[in-house]
Amino acid sequence: MGGASSYIAMLSIAGFLGAAWTASKVSRLLGISSIVLEITVGVALGPRGFGLVDPVYTVCETKRVDDCTAPADLDDRISKGLSLGPSLGRIVGMGVCNPADYSHGDHGHSSHGSGLFNMTVDYVGGAQPMEESHADDHSGGHSNGDHGSTASAGHDNHADTHSESHADTSHSESHSSDSHDSHDSHDGHASDGHASQHRRLSGGHYHSYSECLVKECEHEVSNNCGSFPDFFTLIGHAGVGLMIFESGMHFDFEKAKIVGLPACCVAVLGTVLPLIVGSLLTVMFGRPFMPDGISAGTALAPTSVGIALRLLGEAGVLQENFGQAIITAAFVDDILSLVLFNVLFSLGGEFDMFKTVIAPIIGVAFMLFAMYLAVNFWPKFLPKYILARVPQKSAEAKISAQDEALFFFMFALLFVYATITHFLGTHLWGCFIAGMSFACLNPPHHAHHVWVKQTKRVTSWMIRIFFAGTVAFTIPLQQLMSIDAFWKGSIMGIFACIGTKVICAPFMGKARWVIGWAMVGRAEFAYLIAQMALSAGMLDAGTFSIVIWALLYATIFAPFIFRLLLNRYVASEGLGEGAAGTGFSDSDSDIWGEEKENNKKEEDDLEDGGLLTLAALASRD
């Protein structure tokens, strides 16, 4: 018999990927978004479900070796200068937490704010042995003071566990959850609960020295896992980046000149309203406004253009003005969401003027400059100085040498722009801007055709892994299936996620409800923001579950209702295949002014780019 074999592991991963692929196909047959079934498969077969995928593949290396779990007698250990363990000891040695910041003036004892906070944090794996340095004088223990009974802010259904770690005083009761899943999969979210207690507080301020040690340890683990994530997270995030690049290639600058102002107003309302309502509902649910409320609201803001593209194309009204208003508004919505995303993650710690204010301003300036190049420079420079100098291949070649050169240049510009905006906050911004750079090349849609032909199946699998792995493995199953998460998620889904988008086009005449429901769809970017906010400790597991429910409402209902309203509007206005017109009734024509171009559909363009686009963005098969 042979030695140890990885065959069973390969079989498990193959079974998981096969189930995710099947979910996509079944969704297509049912005529629903594949996102719902892909997430369902991931939750069911992942480490928190039946465990077909082993946690070793879903937890980043740093999290496996660094254990930030606080000992039950942490405060007593601090006061006596005893060992805190390798991970917390490293934080002590780094000097990021100063005991003097938490002293009671003359008494020199630790200030505990709202009481001894719960530090029961579950982590997978052990910790590497390492040297640990301690200061001679630690005053973090409970001494010479009375401590009342306090409950740490956490998720619902907490069991009560009591820890006693006091020197000369009456004990304090700290309530924590023992309902954690056995495995914490994915970056940086230390536990499945504990609201604001288990992440870095706004501005980096903590209630006690011991809390500072634990939170800074978790923050360091989160940062390391963000830089070096597990396999499924890495693949999923890469797929989202490629998808956002492809999305940018559909931006129609000419149509934007016609529908620009109304579409931008729709986009602004469609971004701001979910942010405000989502944040307020989060506060009403008992979570702090910062960072929970802002994180939840930001996750609800992005609109998915894929669903609208597919249904508008099927109805034959993609090139009508109201159709282009939808697409333009969705793209501007994505741009605003990227800016919001950039600002959100700059607020995770101490206020930084460059990250919070200067970097977004530089990013906007860079985007405007890149848009100028997209319209006036690249369409002239690429064909004349790059593609024209590439030697021709034989006629039998499946892809021409010019197309190969164009594909290489697209990847190169993607990397350059993503790198620039990475240092300004997020690489995703650069991905979208890079895609926009090829939107004006001639012939129309050819650049997108070249891109999709080479990347379609790879990107499809990456996005499938993103939903079935990156997102699904992060979802705390017990919290997600709780009544509390469901009813709160339902309220947030109906009012913050759906309602705010539906009413974002009140000035668009008869098309206002069609445009509003077109903005309701959610896809990769919204789920990515929620997942990254959880990983960064800016959302607790309970709030994350609420946000997931809210996004699922939009993902499930948006395609059906949008299709219904679109078909009714197209029929009432005599639009669609073979129909002429602007896409608006006579009573709506004053919204746009005089027509600036003939809105004839060009079948070649749709064949080369449009339908392929719809398949790539909507079905991803």
The owner of tokens 């686009």 is: 613
Q: Report pLDDT for 524.
A: 82
What's the per-residue H, E or C state across 284-339? HCCCCHHHHHHHHHHHHCCCCHHHHHHHHHHHCCCCCHHHHHHHHHHHHHHHHHHH
Q: Please state, in angstroms and rounded to a whole number, the distance separating the CA atoms of residues 373 and 367.
A: 10
Q: What is the sign of the dihedral through the CA atoms of 11, 13, 19 and 24? A: negative
Q: Please state, in angstroms and rounded to a whole number, the distance separating the CA atoms of residues 582 and 568.
A: 17
Q: Please state, in angstroms and rounded to a whole number, the distance separating the CA atoms of residues 123 and 211.
A: 17
Torsion of CA 605, 610, 616, 617, to 10 degrees: 150
Average pLDDT over residues 69-73: 84
Q: Report pLDDT for 332.
A: 84
Q: Report pLDDT for 594.
A: 40
Structure confidence at residue 146 as a pLDDT band (50, 70, 90):
very low
Average pLDDT over residues 410-431: 92
Structure confidence at residue 163 as a pLDDT band (50, 70, 90):
very low
Closest CA to 465 of 301, 297, 229, 248: 229
- When comparing pLDDT for 345 and 451, which is higher? 451
Indicate if the pLDDT at residue 368 is higher than 70: yes
The owner of tokens 């000035």 is: 507
Indicate the pTM of the whole model. Answer: 0.71
The verdict on domain 240-384+409-585 having CATH code 3.65.10.10 is no
- Minimum mean pLDDT range among 26-35, 306-315, 521-530: 306-315
Indicate if the pLDDT at residue 508 is higher than 80: yes
DSSP line for 575-617: -STT--S-SS-GGGGGGT-S--S-----HHHIIIIIHHHHIII
Domain boundaries, the chain: 59-159+198-229, 240-384+409-585
Q: Please state, in angstroms and rounded to a whole number, the distance separating the CA atoms of residues 616 and 441.
A: 20
Q: Report pLDDT for 495.
A: 96
Q: Report pLDDT for 351.
A: 64
- When comparing pLDDT for 417 and 138, which is higher? 417
Average pLDDT over residues 437-454: 92
Q: Report pLDDT for 100.
A: 81
Closest CA to 214 of 66, 65, 68: 68
Indicate if the pLDDT at residue 520 is higher than 70: yes
Q: Report pLDDT for 32.
A: 80
- DSSP strand pairing (174-175 vs 150-151): parallel
Q: Report pLDDT for 350.
A: 62
Distance of CA 173 to the CA centre of its chain: 37
Q: Report pLDDT for 572.
A: 86
Q: What single DSSP character describes residue 115? A: S
- When comparing pLDDT for 396 and 457, which is higher? 457
Q: What is the mean pLDDT of the chain?
A: 76
Indicate if the pLDDT at residue 618 is higher than 70: no
Q: Report pLDDT for 281.
A: 96
- Minimum mean pLDDT range among 32-41, 122-131, 349-358: 122-131
Q: What single DSSP character describes residue 199? A: S
- Minimum mean pLDDT range among 131-135, 272-276, 437-441: 131-135
Q: Report pLDDT for 392.
A: 80
Average pLDDT over residues 465-487: 90
Q: Please state, in angstroms and rounded to a whole number, the distance separating the CA atoms of residues 221 and 217.
A: 6
Q: Report pLDDT for 358.
A: 87
Q: Please state, in angstroms and rounded to a whole number, the distance separating the CA atoms of residues 552 and 527.
A: 10
Q: What is the pLDDT of residues 98-108, one digit of tens each?
A: 888 776 544 44
Q: Please state, in angstroms and rounded to a whole number, the distance separating the CA atoms of residues 76 and 57.
A: 37
Q: Please state, in angstroms and rounded to a whole number, the distance separating the CA atoms of residues 617 and 621.
A: 9
Q: What is the pLDDT of residues 200-248, one digit of tens each?
A: 443 346 788 888 888 888 888 888 888 888 889 999 999 989 988 988 8
- When comparing pLDDT for 124 and 6, which is higher? 6
Q: Report pLDDT for 604.
A: 40
Q: What is the pLDDT of residues 568-615, one digit of tens each?
A: 988 888 776 533 334 444 444 444 444 334 444 333 443 333 333 444
